[in-house]
Amino acid sequence: MKRTPMFITLFSLNFTLNRRVVMKGIHPLVVCFFVLILVSCASTVTGIKKDVDVALSPNEGYLMLEVNTNYDLREIKLWGKTNIVLTSEDLKSGSNYILVNLPAGSYRIDSIKIGRYIFKHFDKDLWSFRVQEGVISYVGHLNMQTRGNYYGVNSNIQLLNKSSFALEYLEDNFANILSSRQVKYWGPGEDSFFETVNEDKGVSQ
């Protein structure tokens, strides 16, 4: 497939969250109670590893998210049409492109867990996105740089739009899926980059 020039789209969004999280003494039984509640209402998913375009259900689409972190993350929770937990398998230190098929609808980042620390209270307007039926919905590049010690951590968290890098990754790793699917940007804000790409390769709406 023809390689697309690498560039970051000029209209990029940079939402930053700086927050210090400190663990406080919580009774173990209270922790277990809330863990059981959360686990019971969220589905654990892992990224697709094989380049096989599965037969999606009538109301399903692909979610594509890149996560770049300088520490291994334990999980990212997405709340929305279906409550989803992305696991440590796809959240290693470094760059992680995650492609999963999910029910179409609106989602938002609810929390990010690193070690024993949890980052919550993400602004719904700035950290929300959509998964569109039948297409690959690229929702952004989650960049998380963390520093800390035993007593707490400080993380700089950004949601960036790097559409051209996402397309290059799909071309190199999921060419078969890409050949029969549109890619659309459904993160915060608007970006017409993929519209031009879809027109050039002639994928129908």
Tens digits of pLDDT across the chain (205 residues): 444 443 333 333 333 444 444 444 445 555 445 544 444 477 999 999 999 998 899 899 999 999 999 999 999 999 998 999 999 999 999 999 999 999 999 999 999 999 889 999 899 888 999 999 999 999 999 999 999 877 788 999 999 999 999 999 999 999 999 998 999 999 888 888 888 887 776 654 4
Give the per-residue pLDDT at 4. Answer: 41
What is the C-alpha to C-alpha distance for residues 63 and 108, in angstroms, rounded to an integer? 12
Please tell me the total count of domains within the chain.
Answer: 1
pTM over 0.85? The answer is no
Is 18 among the domain residues?
A: no
Give the per-residue pLDDT at 3. Answer: 42
Is 3 among the domain residues?
A: no
Give the per-residue pLDDT at 188. Answer: 83
Is 147 among the domain residues?
A: yes
Closest CA to 175 of 186, 165, 167: 167
Q: Dihedral of CA 63/69/74/77: which sign? A: negative
Is 97 among the domain residues?
A: yes
Is 11 among the domain residues?
A: no
One-letter amino acid for residue 42 of the chain: A
Give the per-residue pLDDT at 27. Answer: 52
Closest CA to 158 of 147, 143, 140, 139: 143
Is 154 among the domain residues?
A: yes
The CA-atom distances, in angstroms, between 147 and each of 34, 71, 95, 134 are: 27, 9, 18, 39
Is 178 among the domain residues?
A: yes
Give the per-residue pLDDT at 7. Answer: 37
Is 122 among the domain residues?
A: yes
- Domain extent for 58: 26-196
Give the per-residue pLDDT at 122. Answer: 92
b/e 52-66 (16+ beta carbons within 10 angstroms → b) = eeeebeeebbbbbbb
